[in-house]
Each structure stands twice: as structure tokens, then as C-alpha cells.
Amino acid sequence: METIYTRQISGNVPGPSGSATPSGYKYSRYNRSGYTSPGGYSNYSAGTADRVGCLASVRMTAWAKVTRFTRRLVRFRQMDFEFAAWQMLYLLVQPQKVYRNFLYRKRTKDQFARDDPAFLVLLAASLLITSVLYAVCLGLSTWGFIKFFLWVVAVDCLIAGAIVATCLWFISNRWLRKVNDQDVEWGYCFDVHLNAFFPFLILVHVLLPLIYPPLINSPTFMARFFGNAVWFSAGIYYVYITFLGYTALPHLKNTHFFLYPMSFLFMMYIATVTAGWNISQTAMSFYHARAETHNANPGNLYPELNKRAL
């Protein structure tokens, strides 16, 4: 690493190893070797020697990060599934602890986003298992089950998540940054979506199909109350974990902005229950029509319910 000396008015200033710099110059440290430390400028303490700490890493381009992540998707032996499962557990009970690991990754690997696709693989496996529950609940055929699973993974998780991540990435970099030399990684925004999507998955894709036949599949007030409460709780959880994800970034300000949708969700919950709209029944009809295109008429779904409603 090259050491640059800049002009000073007078006096000898000790160099980084205790030796004096040339008279009339001030010691200044810049990195001219092509390496940059995490966070921007330097990664050393005043008492260290003439080198950057051993945890500093080479700054990679976004394309290089995507390429490395994609290559690791087919290398299961290199994935840390145990740590990914630990993250999933703590997203349900203590999500703040998960984001501490993202800060540690920034200091060691110069990126907030995950470089291990194990979490994404486990999430896809979870969607496969929960799709079985929906197939049983909705009475889907084999082809309907396959279509339902592909829709959930490709559209509900990946495409919708990419849209949400892109919107929040733009908002964060455009209006919420404290400094101009650090931006929010798009990959991190997508990771925040995946983190928030997992508790949403547990509520909507595990709890809902289990309680739907006995509690929600009826035209009563309590059915609407519990059916809409599942979606309301899932939305609140998604918003809260998203808020934690962006609050964890030290170079963002006014992150309370991400909590504003909670008020809208609460008003929607009260309005739908009062208006007699059971969101869960609508969602079930939509899921069935999407998977079984040859039987897309919602009136053919749950005929005993339709008879009671009449």
C-alpha cells in the first residue's frame, strides 16, 4: 500500500511506525493499491502498524457478486444449511439477532447481502412442503399442485419480491441515505424481502390451510375475523421485519418510514371484517383457479359453502 505525504505548515509528525515524516509534511493515509476496506475509506485503528486489518476484503462489483452467488446455487456442499436454518428460526422469535450477522458480513466481506444461497434453497424447500398442504386443502390434481408450486416460487416469492426490493432500493438510495459515499445494495434489499417472506409463509402457507376447514370455511363473522386476522398478522410481520432490515443499516435515516403501512393494514382489517369480506376465502378461490385453469370458476370451489351462503 502506498503512503502519501501531504503539505503541512511546520513540524515533524511521527509516521505510522514511529518514525518522523519529512519536515514540513503531514502523514496522510490513502489506499492506492486498488483495494478498499468495508465502509469506504479505512479499516485500521490508530495504534496498528502499516497495514489494513486482516479482515479487509477486495470490493467486488455487483455483477461479480451475482455470478458468485449463482455458481454456488449448484454446489450444495458449500452451503451452510445449519446456519440458514438458524436464521429461519430466529426470524420467528428474535429477528433483530439475524440482522447483526449482516453487519458482521459487511465488515468481513464488504457486502451486506448474503453470499450463501442456502437460505434461498431452504425457503424453496419450505414452499414445496407448504404447497402440499394447499394441494390437500384445495383438492388439487398432480398437475395443479405443480402449477401451484411454480406460481408460488416464481411469482409470489421471486418476482413480487424483486419488485418490492427494487422499489425500496430506489427509495432508500434516493431519499434515506445519510452520506453519499455509501449506498444500499439491491441484493440486501432482496434479502430483507426473503427474511420478511418466511414468517409470512408460516402464517399464510402453514397456519391458514390447517385452520381453514374448521374455522374459516363458513359465512360467519368469526370466520371472517380469524380468516382476515391471519393475513393481517402476516402483513404486520412482513412490514416489521422489513423495518428492522433497513434500520440495521447505519447509513440510513428516517427508517420509521417503513412502519407506515401498518396503519393501512389495520384499517384494511377493520374495513374488510365490517364489510363482510373474508379475504381467506377469496384467496383460496384464487389459488384454486390459478392452479386448476380448467376449473377456474370460484363457484365450483367448496359447493357446500355456496349452498349455505344461499
11: left (phi over 0), alpha (psi -120 to 50) or beta: left
Predicted pLDDT of residue 310: 41
The residue ranking higher by pLDDT, 300 or 132, is: 132
Query: With 90 as the cut, is the pLDDT of residue 23 above it?
Result: no
End-to-end CA distance of the chain: 80
Contact 15, 21 (CB under 8 A): yes
Secondary structure (H, E, C), 40-78? CCCCCCCCCCCCCCCCCCCCCCHHHHHHHHHHHCCCHHH
Q: What is the pLDDT of residue 299?
A: 46
Higher pLDDT, 41 or 80: 80
Question: Whole-angstrom Cα distance, residue 215 to residue 223?
Answer: 6
| Residues in the chain, overall count | 310
Least confident of 46-55, 80-89, 159-168: 46-55
- Per-residue model confidence as pLDDT tens digits over 199-240: 999 999 999 999 999 999 999 999 999 999 999 999 999 999
Within 13 Å of residue 54, how many CA atoms lie on the same side as its CB?
0
Domain ranges of the chain: 1-59, 62-309
Q: Is the pTM of this model over 0.85?
A: no
Given this model, what pLDDT does residue 270 score?
97
Mean pLDDT lowest among 32-41, 69-78, 232-241: 32-41
Computed over every residue of the chain, the mean pLDDT equals 81
Tens digits of per-residue pLDDT, 242-274?
999 999 999 999 999 999 999 999 999 999 999
User: Is the per-residue pLDDT at 13 higher than 70?
Assistant: no
The Cα–Cα gap between 31 and 44 comes to: 12
DSSP, residue by residue, 229-294: HHHHHHHHHHHHHHHHHHHT-TTB--GGGGGTHHHHHHHHHHHHHHHT--HHHHHHHHHHHHH-GG
| SS3 state of residue 7 | strand
